[in-house]
Amino acid sequence: MKVLVSDPLSEAGVKTLQETPDIEVDVNTDLTPEELKGIIGQYHALVIRSATKATAEIIDAAHNLKVIGRAGIGLDNVDIPAASKKGIVVMNTPEGNTITAAEHTIAMIMALTRNIPQATTSLKEGKWEKKKFHGQEIFNKTLGVIGVGRIGRLVAERAKGMEMKVITYDPYIKPDIIERMDIEPVSFDELLQRSDYITIHTPSTEETINMINKEAIAKMKSGAMLINCARGGIVNEDDLFEALKSGHLSGAALDVFSKEPPGKIKLMSLPNFICTPHLGASTKEAQDKVAKDVAEQIVAYLLYGSVKNAVNVPSISPELLSTLRPYATLAEKMGSLQIQLADNAILEVQINYSGKVTNYDVTPLTTAMLKGLLTPILKDQVNFVNAPVIAAERGIKVVESKTKAPEDFSSLIKLTVKTQKGKNIISGTIFGNNLLRILRINNFYLEAIPEGHNLLINNLDKPGVIGRITSTLGRYEVNISRMQVGEEKAKKQNVIFLATNVSVNDEILKELRGLEDISLVRRIEL
Q: Which of 153, 278, 394, 437 is catalytic?
A: 278
Q: Dihedral through CA 131, CA 132, CA 138, CA 139, nearest 10?
A: 10
231 is a catalytic site residue: yes
DSSP 322-339: HHHHHHHHHHHHHHHHHH
Q: Are strands 411-419 and 346-355 parallel, antiparallel or unpaired?
A: antiparallel
Which residues have C-beta within 8 Å of that of residue 54, sequence separation ≥ 6? 46, 48, 68, 77, 78, 79, 83
Kindly list the strands in the beta sheet with 518-525, ordered across the sheet, starting from the edge strand earlier in the chain. 480-488, 493-500, 453-460, 518-525
Find residue 212's DSSP bridge partners: 235
Q: What length is written for the chain?
A: 526
Check 24, 137, 260, 516 and give the catalytic one. Answer: 260
Q: Please state, in angstroms and rounded to a whole number, the distance separating the CA atoms of residues 332 and 369.
A: 4
What is the residue type of 91?
A: M
- Torsion sign (Cα): 106, 112, 113, 115: positive
Q: Is 278 a catalytic residue?
A: yes
Catalytic option among 44, 104, 150, 231: 231
Class of residue 462 by CB neighbours under 10 A (exposed 0-12, middle 13-18, buried 19+)? exposed
| Inter-residue contact 299 to 17 (CB < 8 Å) | yes
Helix (H) or strand (E) holding 160: helix 150-161
**What number of other Cβ atoms are within 10 A of residue 38's Cβ?**
12
Give yes or no: 260 in active site: yes
Active-site residues, by number, are: 231, 260, 278
